[in-house]
């Protein structure tokens, strides 16, 4: 299970080197020795403006870019059109160039994996892939089922914490005003509580809790609860050591 401290390390990274190391470490702790995160500030941005961090071998990365394999990579195509993760299967790579891509990648230890799309509220787009040299299916599938929720959580934290780097500048985002109740709800979300559980704890209706959560997302300009938590931690509004945990 992913530790909150690992996610906070991503959020608190002040430069891309520390962020990169934090991402590689959390991926490794979940059994994936290879990870790649790539994003652009808008769907219309060119490859030259891409934010890319990976521990794939330099030789493979250079070949991938020089051969423009991203033009035939089915994981890239999938992430442009979907918000759902894509588990790599032999059937994923069906065209001739895609089969060649998979065979070449396998030679560099990138054989089985899963790719999560990333779509930001301001038009940012990208993907994050977790890979291993294991054969697809069998024990790899079992591991993936066990860690899928953790990997999705890492995706959320990695994407949100990388946005300042994706846009090529430090964020000067103002801290939004939160009511006392909104902050309380935010802390309970960080503690992993559902809307129903928070309603029981705070003695208010579940619909009221969801209303507060909607306001919180709107104030942060995000789409999910986890993205709100990432922003709140990054802005110093809540801390992982909060007694709600």
Q: Where are the domains of the chain?
A: 4-166, 180-234
3-state secondary structure of 46: coil
The chain-wide mean pLDDT, for the chain, equals: 90
CATH classification code of 4-166: 3.30.450.80
Q: Which pLDDT belongs to residue 169? A: 46
Same fold, 4-166 and 180-234: no
With a cut of 70, say whether residue 244 has pLDDT above it: no
161 closest CA partner among 235, 221, 234, 220: 234
Percent of the chain scoring above 90 in pLDDT:
69
Instruction: List, in sequence order, every residue forming a beta bridge with 116; answer none if it has no partner.
Output: 128
Beta bridge partners of 128: 37, 116
| String of DSSP letters for 104-148 | HHHTTT--EEEEEEEE-TTS-EEEEEEEESSPSSHHHHHHHHHHH
The predicted pLDDT at position 171 comes to 44
Q: What is the mean pLDDT of residues 104-113?
A: 94
CA–CA gap between residue 202 and residue 221 (Å, rounded): 25
Fold of 180-234: Arc Repressor Mutant, subunit A (1.10.10)
Report the DSSP pairing between strands 34-40 and 51-54: antiparallel
């Amino acid at each position: 299970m992913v530790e909150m401290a690992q996610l906070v390390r991503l959020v608190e990274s002040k430069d891309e080197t520390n962020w990169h190391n934090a991402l590689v470490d959390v991926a490794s702790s979940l059994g994936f020795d290879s990870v790649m995160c790539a994003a652009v500030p808008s769907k219309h941005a060119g490859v030259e403006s891409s934010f890319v961090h990976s521990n794939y071998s330099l030789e493979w990365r250079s070949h991938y870019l020089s051969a423009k394999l991203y033009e035939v990579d089915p994981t890239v195509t999938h992430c442009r059109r979907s918000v759902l993760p894509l588990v790599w299967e032999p059937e994923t790579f069906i065209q001739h160039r895609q089969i060649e891509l998979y065979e070449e990648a396998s030679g560099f230890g990138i054989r089985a994996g899963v790719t999560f799309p990333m779509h930001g509220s301001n038009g940012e787009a990208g993907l994050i892939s977790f890979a291993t040299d294991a054969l697809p299916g069998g024990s790899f599938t079992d591991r993936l089922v066990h860690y899928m929720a953790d990997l999705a959580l890492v995706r959320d934290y990695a994407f949100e914490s990388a946005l300042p780097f994706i846009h090529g500048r430090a964020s000067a985002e103002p801290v939004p005003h939160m009511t006392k109740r909104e902050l309380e709800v935010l802390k309970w979300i960080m503690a992993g509580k559902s809307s129903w559980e928070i309603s029981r704890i705070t003695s208010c209706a579940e619909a009221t809790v969801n209303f507060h959560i909607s306001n919180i997302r709107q104030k942060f300009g995000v789409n999910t609860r986890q993205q709100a938590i990432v922003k709140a931690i990054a802005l110093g509004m809540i801390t992982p050591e909060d007694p709600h945990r």
